[in-house]
Amino acid sequence: MLQLSVLREQTAHVIEGLNKKNYKNAAEEVAALLELDQQRRQVQSEHDELQGRANSISKEIGMLMKNGEREKAEACKSETSELKQKTKSLAEQLSAVEEQIQQALYRLPNLPHESVPAGRTPEDNEVVLQHGEIPELFEGALPHWELIQKYDIIDFELGNKITGAGFPVYKKQGARLQRALINFFLDEAIAAGYMEVQPPILVNEASGFGTGQLPDKEGQMYHATEDNLYLIPTAEVPITNLYRDMILPAEQLPVKNAGHTPCFRREAGSWGADVRGLNRLHQFDKVEIVQITLPEKSYEALEDMSRHIQGLLQKLELPYRVLRLCGGDMGFTAALTFDMEVYSTAQGRWLEVSSASNFETYQANRLKLRTKTESGKTQLLHTLNGSALALPRIVAAILENNQTPKGINMPKVLHPYLGFEKIG
């Protein structure tokens, strides 16, 4: 959530940033918010002035009664009563205006970092680097949705029977590949200094607001209405919310957590090759890495996270590229995002497998996540997260890129985790 002080002091910069994110009516909404803020400060001033007068008169009443000036004391009591009524009315006005401001701030996305390129669509994203050679497949090579049927390792029909479309059943070597990847990703995260946590996969409304999924992605989350709980779209939500309403000592920073969870997303409902097979699911597994840092260290931390994710892709021997997302393709809460995409040779296209983002103070402001400076003042921290990694498209690329006429070779780094070297 953007800070009101930033809107007041850097209004032009805020509007410029919102426009870069293609946020509609940016100037009008900022102006309306600043008008509400002015109204809030005026009401607050009137409230405080009346409250001060009431307190001052209350002190006089005791002295008047002590001196026997009962008539004056009664007049003061009457005035105090009127002042209390006015103060109560102003307090109610103040509460209403503050709620309006809070809801308006919730609607504004984070401002993009200065390095974010302008643009509206994924075609406007900037390719930062590309690594690895794209393999050449033999004639008759298959896309992964045909490979999983051929080797009977993932069953979409069974998942559809049990739950619905987008909920596959992994079995045999497919289930073991899932487990191997999860353990490999977690082991690599731990070796890189991340503390493993296993958070709940249902979160309350406060957690959704804390990391910015609410109200922005309310329609994309599965909602257990009876208990008003949400199935998580990513482990970022519960892991970052571990630190909600906390003041972290500077010597404990950076905080580095990693966790594996299933993830649930309702938006996977379109049709076409882009969403066939494992390309887009309603439920999938992911290992997430989260960092909480001092503001001056956060972009160094983002580079560190990017290198970690790239290291995983290199060990899996997958060709990949890194994109810097443009303003129009960035997430609501992010200030800067790097996407990692692997090349799917059988499909002939790049598949996003990870996003690493710096949210700067946007989430921390919602979470009230702070530290204390040397002078004793509180300061908002920066939060970051990245997929390290999401499994479905990694599995798709491994299956497609490593297929041979006699089976599918597994990356060497996974052999100790799998207990086999080839599917088929």
What pLDDT score was predicted for residue 385? Answer: 98
What pLDDT score was predicted for residue 217? Answer: 83
Q: Which helix (H) or strand (E) holds 355?
A: strand 349-358
What pLDDT score was predicted for residue 273? Answer: 53
Q: What is the pTM of this model?
A: 0.92
Please give the C-alpha separations between residue 15 and each of 8, 25, 31, 33, 111, in angstroms, as whole numbers.
Answer: 11, 9, 10, 12, 9
What pLDDT score was predicted for residue 274? Answer: 63
What pLDDT score was predicted for residue 73? Answer: 75
Q: Is residue 112 part of a domain?
A: no
| CB atoms closer than 10 angstroms to residue 301 | 21
Position 413 confidence tier, pLDDT thresholds 50, 70, 90: very high
Please report which residue ranges of 67-196 form alpha helices under DSSP H. 70-107, 144-150, 156-162, 173-191
Residues 132 and 223 in one domain: yes
The CATH number linked to 9 is: 1.10.287.40
Final residue in a domain of this structure, among 77, 107, 137: 107
pLDDT at 71 over 90: no
285-332: pLDDT as tens digits: 999 999 999 999 999 999 999 999 999 999 999 999 999 999 999 999
Residues 50 and 186 in one domain: no
Q: Is residue 117 part of a domain?
A: no
pLDDT at 271 over 70: no
Q: Is residue 76 part of a domain?
A: yes
What pLDDT score was predicted for residue 391? Answer: 98
Residues 308 and 337 in one domain: yes
Residues 267 and 363 in one domain: yes
Structural domain that includes position 209: 122-423
Return the structure tokens found at 90: 């102003």
Final residue in a domain of this structure, among 107, 133, 156: 107
121-152: pLDDT as tens digits: 999 999 999 999 999 999 999 999 999 999 99
Mean of the per-residue pLDDT values of the chain: 94
Long-range CB contacts for residues 418-421, cutoff 8 Å, separation at least 24: 418/173, 418/176, 418/177, 418/180, 419/176, 420/173, 420/176
Q: Is residue 55 part of a domain?
A: yes
What pLDDT score was predicted for residue 100? Answer: 96
Q: Is residue 115 part of a domain?
A: no
Position 59 confidence tier, pLDDT thresholds 50, 70, 90: confident
Q: Please give the share of the chain, as a percent, with pLDDT higher than 70.
A: 97
Q: Is residue 129 part of a domain?
A: yes
Q: Quick one: average pLDDT of 73-79?
A: 78
For the chain, the domain total comes to 2
Residues 187 and 232 in one domain: yes
- What is the C-alpha to C-alpha distance for residues 340 and 129, in angstroms, rounded to an integer? 10
Q: Quick one: average pLDDT of 188-194?
A: 98
Residues 69 and 150 in one domain: no
Q: Is residue 336 part of a domain?
A: yes
Residues 355 and 219 in one domain: yes
Residues 83 and 169 in one domain: no
pLDDT at 72 over 90: no
Residues 73 and 177 in one domain: no
Residues 145 and 279 in one domain: yes
3-state SS assignment for residue 390:
strand
pLDDT at 66 over 60: yes
Residues 297 and 407 in one domain: yes
What pLDDT score was predicted for residue 231? Answer: 98
Q: Is residue 94 part of a domain?
A: yes
pLDDT at 70 over 80: no
89-110: pLDDT as tens digits: 999 999 999 999 999 999 999 9
221-239: pLDDT as tens digits: 999 999 999 999 999 999 9
Give the residue with greater pLDDT, 116 vs 275.
Answer: 116
Q: Quick one: average pLDDT of 376-392?
A: 97
The CATH number linked to 233 is: 3.30.930.10
What pLDDT score was predicted for residue 60? Answer: 78
Final residue in a domain of this structure, among 61, 83, 107: 107
Residues 208 and 59 in one domain: no
Q: Quick one: average pLDDT of 386-410?
A: 97
